[in-house]
A and B are shown apart, each in its own frame.
Chain A
Amino acid sequence: MSTTVTETHETSTHYGSHVLKPERSNLGLMRPDHGKSVLIDWLTTVDHKKIGIMYGVIALFFLLVGGVEALVIRTQLAFPENDLISAQRYNQLFTMHGTTMIFLAIMPLNAAFFNFLVPLQIGARDVAFPRINSFSLWAFVAGALVINFGWFLQLLEVMGLFTASGPTAGMNDLVPSMGWFGYAPITGIEFTGAGTDFWIMGLQILGIASLSAAMNFVVTIINMRAVGMKMMRLPVFTWMTLIVSLLIVFAFPAITIALAELMFDRVFGTNFFVTAGGGQPILWQHLFWIFGHPEVYILVLPAMGIVSEVLPAFSKKPLFGYAIVVFSGAVIGFLGFAVWSHHMFTTGLGKVATAAFSLLTMAIAVPTGVKIFNWVGTLWGGRVRFSAPMIFALGFVWMFMMGGFSGIMHSSAPADAQQQDSYFVIAHFHYVAIGGIFLAVVSGIYFWLPKICGKMWKGNLSLWVAIFSTVGLNVTFFPMHFLGLLGMPRRTHTYLEGFGWETYNLVCTIGAYILAFGIFLLVVDIIRCLRSGEPAGDDPWDARTLEWTTTSPPQVYNFARNPIIPARDALWEHKHGPENRKITYEPDDGHGIHMPSQSWMPMIASLGFVPLGLGLSMMQAGVAYMGYVAIFGLLMISLGVALWALEGPGGYHLHPEEEN
């Protein structure tokens, strides 16, 4: 890296110096800048690219964890009356499979793309609040630890070293076991043990992480755009990030309050969801789905954004109907708040409410259909290249559509009454989640990993990944439609012979292993690329957007000089457009590039959630001294935030040497 550095307080005449010295913060402590330790560098980083990579690595790890949980579930169901695992363990596995995949795999994978790409795509040098970004990452890690800590306690319990006492005495389900949407009243203190408390605290912490990250991204996208990067010139992926972030800002409070009410019910004996005290368990369903349905779009809109980037790049055409695609995304986000009760058609909402939510659910299929139409329109007449990202993007369009079709079937309330809680529903949302989101994310990985690590993919393993994962997911989930219509209920630990379910279940299980092999090949391919890929170059795919103008991997400051954006699809216009649409750069003002200082404080503050969450949860299981641990966590958070405020932002200047 050909850069020289001067400290902020020094004059910028210090050009020739290569000396990087950490500076003292306003507190008198040394800042962790320019250290030699790689570990400290990553722990204290405020660089959106490094934070994005960490999100991605941790999310891929949890994707594998959730995948293993799914495989155990499918193995248990392979044969009738199988007793591989106990019913309680089965409940814990499907609960943690859902929770892990949604909150610890897909959301952080999306966050990984947001972090790495959005500043590059809008021509910024970082997000608006770099230290809040670091806080979001570590709060996510804290939430993941708290929510999974039950496995450790459960292991001790199996070994006979631990039994629950205190408020949940005698209930040894230490891993959440009530399903990922935790319906009342099963989450009540008299029905489930400390696992529910780990789930409440873990989700609450993950909510804080998501909210802080989402607010950061809205500010970044609105305020940090380069000159000329007007809203209607933003890449579609950035647009979807903005919409998703706004969804998070407005949808997460509902579950935050619902979780707080549930916690009060369990810890302080309130009656929010307790029928004996006048509470109504249905309230939980409403609050959960007011969050939960926007959450569906929080998961899928980034996938649509990825596909909207990949399809034009590999069709050598602009996205067909850019404005309509953006507008459809916004409409989906808006309508997403108005369809939550379609998860509750069988609860007896009354005719008017059922009809209204049924109609709105059908209406939301319109903007989704418009998007699919536009993607097909993008391909039409384009020079299509079937490179790895394109294969997965095309797979997304088809498979997501299949999930969409069964979704429309659910929107009809009478049909939904038949399908409710059956395997038909499982088939529907796995087509959307794996056929849709997973394939799009893999497409994104194939598209952007050369930019992220600077190395190009080797060979054609991607084709085998595509074959095994698409075949696997269809073999797994297509028969589930039939299973559902034959009446197999979801969340069933085992089943008897003679319902006609045996063959379908066996096929599903075989499919699950095919899919797992596809994911295994993906991991192999990623490792091969990272270990021995050829240098990728700045723009290996002949792509269209601004991130491909940077080096691969991008420099820490992203852009040596700030770009001035003349048009949508800026790089494409720069390469192939008329002379007046070239990207130009602002002149160097001689002050160098102001970089934010690294900091320990966001990590200290957010990791304080670990003792807080674990302390409060384990108090419920009667573990001694846990109240003090929780108080320690609270003090750690307060101390971290206070020192964060007082240390000052710091910063230093970089002077990249001009190459052109």
Chain B
Amino acid sequence: MSDTATAHHEDGHKSLIIDNKKLLMWLFLGSDCMFFGTLISTHLIYRKINPTEIDPTVNLFSLELTSFSTFILLMSSFLMALAVSAMHKGQIKSFRRNVIGVIFFGLIFLGCQVYEFTEFVHLGLKLDTGTFGSTFYLMTGTHGVHVAIGIFWLICMYFYSYTGKMDAHESAVDVEVAGLYWHFVDIVWIIIFTVVYLIEFIGK
């Protein structure tokens, strides 16, 4: 994880404004905005075109469950911020504690999503159920994959911290980059929660 191209080029680095890896992550997140933008707008457009696809009398979404998982994901972002701050101060134990918290909360969120998906399938919403099933599962599924990748990344970091190769100077950037990713995934969820879930409750 401590591999950085920055080290190769210390000598040629006078125009540095923002760390290479951080800039790369910002670019990726910009690109990712377009990924989710495409997915979410596909969903919203089809929701408008095919409004009667799902039975409006059936309450598909559970406000309680999804609010709970949204809250959990928000809190995981809070712990992630604490982990980044701990790494900056070189407090490796505090870093580990917080990262374990993020991983745990992320897993709870994924668990909620798995539970939710099974519920929906039982209620009759399948991948090939009109366009709603298609757009909903691809969009939330892509988000779930993002969360899963983030969890995997943090698990790797957690174990890597035991090799003794992490230090406040070099690894803080790596942790910060993971943090940027995690916060972004969280923000995307808040948008999905608002325009996909909450919007269904208007007038109900």
Contacts and interface: CB of A to CB of B under 8 A. Distances in A.
Are these two chains actual partners, yes or no?
A: yes
A277 B3 CA distance: 49
B31 A223 contact: no
A229 B50 CA distance: 55
Interface stretch (A253-261, A416-424, A463-471): A253-261
Interface string B1-13: 1111101111111
B138 interface: yes
Interface in A271-308: 271-272, 277-280, 283, 287, 290
Contact of B39 (A130, A226, A257, A596): A257
A222 interface: yes
B146 to A, nearest CB: 13
A264 B134 contact: yes
Interface in A140-175: none
A225 B8 contact: no
B131 A287 contact: no
A615 to B, nearest CB: 19
B9 A594 contact: yes
A269 B128 contact: yes
B45 A283 contact: yes
A649 B4 contact: yes
B20 A260 contact: no
B9 A126 contact: yes
A130 B2 contact: no
B24 interface: yes
Interface in A620-655: 645, 647-649, 651
Contacts, number: 151
Interface in B4-47: 4-5, 7-18, 20, 23-24, 27-28, 30-32, 34-35, 37-39, 42, 45-46
Contact of A270 (B3, B45, B127, B156): B127
A630 to B, nearest CB: 17
A218 B128 contact: no
Interface string A88-123: 000000000000000000000000000000000001
Output the residue of B32, B35, B38, B127 with the most chain A CB within 10 A: B38
A594 B10 contact: yes
B53 interface: yes
Contact of A223 (B7, B13, B130, B156): B13
A130 B3 CA distance: 12
Contact of B138 (A123, A222, A261): A261
Interface string B118-148: 0000000001101101110110000000000
Given A128-B20, A253-B38, A254-B38, A224 B8 contact: no
A572 B15 CA distance: 23
B49 interface: yes
A270 B13 contact: no
A147 B53 CA distance: 37
Q: Is the interface on chain A under 10, 10 to 19, 20 to 34, or 35 or more residues?
A: 35 or more
A402 interface: no
Contacts of A258: 38
A271 B17 contact: no
A268 B127 contact: yes
A249 B9 contact: no
A393 to B, nearest CB: 30
Nearest to A594: B8
Interface in A199-225: 211, 215-216, 218-219, 222-225
A589 interface: yes
Contacts of B7: 594, 649, 651
Interface string B94-128: 00000000000000000000000000000000011
Interface residues of B, number: 46
Nearest to A228: B14
A271 B38 CA distance: 16
A226 B42 contact: no
Output the residue of A125, A224, A254, A586 with the most chain B CB within 10 A: A224
B24 A229 contact: no
A333 to B, nearest CB: 14
A224 B131 contact: no
A227 B20 contact: no
Given A269-B128, A278-B50, A589 B11 contact: yes
A651 B135 CA distance: 47
Chain B facing A: main interface SS: helix
A250 interface: yes
A268 B34 CA distance: 24
Contact of B53 (A257, A278, A648): A278
A219 B27 contact: yes
Contacts of B138: 260-261, 264, 270, 272
A263 B133 CA distance: 15
Contact of B131 (A128, A223, A272, A589): A272
Contacts of B1: 645
A265 B127 CA distance: 10
Contacts of B31: 211, 215, 249-250, 252-253
Given A268-B127, A268-B128, A124 B9 contact: yes
A211 to B, nearest CB: 6
Nearest to A272: B134
Given A252-B31, A594-B10, A271 B15 contact: no
A562 interface: yes
Contact of B35 (A125, A126, A225, A253): A253
A54 interface: no
Contacts of B10: 594
A270 B133 contact: yes
A593 interface: yes
A639 to B, nearest CB: 14
A358 to B, nearest CB: 23
A265 B8 CA distance: 45
A486 interface: no
A595 interface: yes
A125 B134 contact: no
Contacts of B34: 250-251, 253-254
Nearest to B39: A257
Contacts of A596: 5, 8
Contacts of A541: none
A298 B11 CA distance: 32
Contacts of B16: 223
Interface of B: 1-5, 7-18, 20, 23-24, 27-28, 30-32, 34-35, 37-39, 42, 45-46, 49-50, 53, 127-128, 130-131, 133-135, 137-138, 156
Given A271-B131, A278-B46, 11 more contacts: A124-B9, A125-B8, A126-B9, A215-B27, A215-B28, A219-B23, A249-B31, A252-B31, A268-B127, A272-B138, A279-B46
Which 8 residue pairs spanning A and B have beta carbons closest together? A253-B34, A270-B134, A257-B38, A649-B3, A225-B15, A227-B14, A253-B35, A269-B128
16 contacts: A219-B24, A219-B27, A222-B17, A249-B27, A254-B38, A257-B38, A271-B131, A279-B131, A287-B38, A586-B11, A589-B11, A594-B9, A596-B5, A645-B156, A647-B3, A649-B5
